[in-house]
């Protein structure tokens, strides 16, 4: 990356360039998310040498949603290993929306990849623990280690999603019917729902991503969270699948592994250099934050971050 001053200026420029961008709509399929202020917009860059650059609402808390999938996946590979997780969860795109049941039916109940809901539920099920409460605790602790601070559950988001997530419960049951879950489907979907309801900020997302960029060592706390090979696995999968059915377009235009979530967050990782965390609740039709995508694209171009 260029010098600290230059990165700092570009982060503020990127924020300013899209701060009034009106495109996109706030997700409403989780009722409480529909109440989010659509104009919140935070941007953060964390460098592997510890450089911090925040702009706008970078410390506003929001539920992490699908971005949790990337970090739980890394934690589970660390615990269970590359080969078994690859076999059980898969690494290829489904080409279908993130909450598709048809994708499962078409693939003999195999989830295909950990960044869709089916694969994320199957991944969370692999987290070690003798009870789902213990699995949840390990998920929360692991994601907190990535963020470098204790993350807490947003109870309102959790309850709102738990009361309406019939679709994810259907996915859990379908996985179980194909013999692809060895734990109680409703209980593990509950852990998955909790992991999605952990509160983070754009700044946290940048720290979490920078930990993957830094070969598994959190650049702020100095603590190793996962091994370097685990980061490579997680970043390869997320490069191929992180923005759902838009993953190809994203990699083609921006050239960085990234993961989005329906609350409006995106984390983009620049291996060896750092990460960008962004938050803006206005989403495009695939469920990806419009301002976050644009601001990350701006920084990727301005800082020459495209990996290809
Ligand atoms: O399971 C769900 O549907 C949500 N908890 C997370 C979905 C999500 O963030 C998809 N992102 N674009």
Q: In the prediction, which pLDDT does 4 show?
A: 84
Assigned superfamily of 67-196? DD-peptidase/beta-lactamase superfamily (3.40.710.10)
Q: Which residue shows structure tokens 């490579």?
A: 232
Tell me the Ramachandran region of residue 11: left when phi exceeds 0, alpha when psi lies from -120 to 50, beta otherwise. alpha
Measured on CA atoms in the order 65, 255, 248, 115, is the torsion positive or negative?
negative
Alpha carbons 296 and 308: distance in angstroms, whole number: 16
Q: In the prediction, which pLDDT does 233 show?
A: 98
**Contact status, residue 305 vs residue 255, Cβ threshold 8 Å:** yes
Q: Which residues face 278 on adjacent strands? A: 43, 266
Which amino acids are annotated catalytic? Answer: 66, 69, 192, 244, 262
In 62-161, which ranges are E strands?
62-63
Smallest CA-to-CA distance from 163 within 137, 184, 135, 193 is with 193
Q: In the prediction, which pLDDT does 3 show?
A: 85
| 232 Cβ contact partners less than 8 Å away, ≥ 6 residues apart | none
Alpha carbons 98 and 119: distance in angstroms, whole number: 10
Greatest alpha-carbon pair distance for the chain in Å reads: 55
- Looking at the CA of residue 197, tell me the nearest atom of ligand 1: 5
10-20: per-residue pLDDT in tens? 999 999 999 99
Strands of the sheet containing 42-47, edge to edge, are 52-56, 42-47, 274-279, 265-270, 258-260
Domains 4-64+200-302 and 67-196 share a fold: yes
Does the beta carbon of 264 sit less than 6 angstroms from any atom of ligand 1?
no
Q: In the prediction, which pLDDT does 29 show?
A: 86
What is the assigned CATH class of domain 4-64+200-302? alpha beta
Do the annotations mark residue 157 as ligand-binding? no
Does the beta carbon of 292 sit less than 6 angstroms from any atom of ligand 1?
no
Q: Which pairing describes strands 42-47 and 274-279: parallel, antiparallel, or unpaired?
A: antiparallel
Which parts of the chain have pLDDT scores under 70?
none
Q: In the prediction, which pLDDT does 237 show?
A: 97
Domain range annotation of the chain: 4-64+200-302, 67-196
Does the beta carbon of 65 sit less than 6 angstroms from any atom of ligand 1?
yes
Estimate the crossing angle of helix 132-147 against helix 202-213, to 10 degrees: 90
**Contact status, residue 194 vs residue 136, Cβ threshold 8 Å:** yes
**Contact status, residue 119 vs residue 25, Cβ threshold 8 Å:** no
**64 Cα–ligand 1 center, Å:** 9
Q: In the prediction, which pLDDT does 244 show?
A: 85
Q: In the prediction, which pLDDT does 15 show?
A: 98
Do the annotations mark residue 93 as ligand-binding? no
Do the annotations mark residue 117 as ligand-binding? yes
**80 Cα–ligand 1 center, Å:** 24
Q: Is the pTM of this model over 0.95?
A: yes
- Looking at the CA of residue 288, tell me the nearest atom of ligand 1: 12
Q: In the prediction, which pLDDT does 35 show?
A: 93
Q: In the prediction, which pLDDT does 235 show?
A: 98
């Amino acid at each position: 990356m260029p010098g600290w001053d230059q990165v700092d200026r570009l982060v503020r420029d990127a924020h300013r360039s899209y701060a009034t961008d009106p495109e996109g709509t706030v997700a409403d399929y989780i009722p409480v998310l529909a109440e989010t202020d659509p104009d919140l917009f935070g941007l953060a860059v964390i460098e592997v040498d510890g450089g911090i650059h925040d702009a706008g609402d970078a410390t506003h808390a929001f539920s992490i949603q699908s971005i949790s999938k990337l970090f739980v996946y890394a934690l589970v590979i660390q615990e269970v290993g590359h080969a078994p997780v690859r076999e059980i969860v898969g690494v290829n795109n489904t080409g279908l929306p993130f909450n598709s049941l048809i994708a499962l039916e078409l693939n003999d109940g195999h989830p295909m990849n950990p960044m869709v809901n089916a694969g994320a539920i199957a991944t969370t099920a692999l987290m070690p623990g003798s009870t789902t409460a213990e699995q949840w605790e390990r998920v929360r602790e692991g994601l907190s280690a990535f963020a470098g601070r204790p993350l807490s559950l947003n109870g309102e988001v959790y309850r709102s999603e738990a009361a309406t997530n019939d679709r994810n419960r259907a996915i859990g049951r379908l996985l179980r019917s194909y013999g692809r879950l060895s734990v109680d489907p409703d209980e593990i979907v509950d852990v998955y729902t909790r992991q999605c309801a952990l509160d983070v900020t754009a700044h946290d997302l940048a720290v979490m991503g920078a930990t993957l960029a830094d070969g598994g060592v959190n650049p702020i706390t100095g603590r190793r969270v996962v091994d370097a090979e685990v980061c490579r696995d997680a970043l390869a999968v997320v490069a191929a699948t992180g923005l759902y059915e838009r993953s190809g377009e994203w990699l083609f235009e921006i050239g960085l592994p990234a993961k989005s979530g329906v609350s409006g967050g995106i984390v983009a990782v620049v291996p060896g250099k750092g990460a960008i965390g962004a938050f803006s609740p206005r989403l495009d039709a695939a469920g990806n934050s419009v301002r976050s995508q644009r601001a990350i694209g701006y920084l990727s171009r301005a800082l020459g971050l495209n990996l290809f």
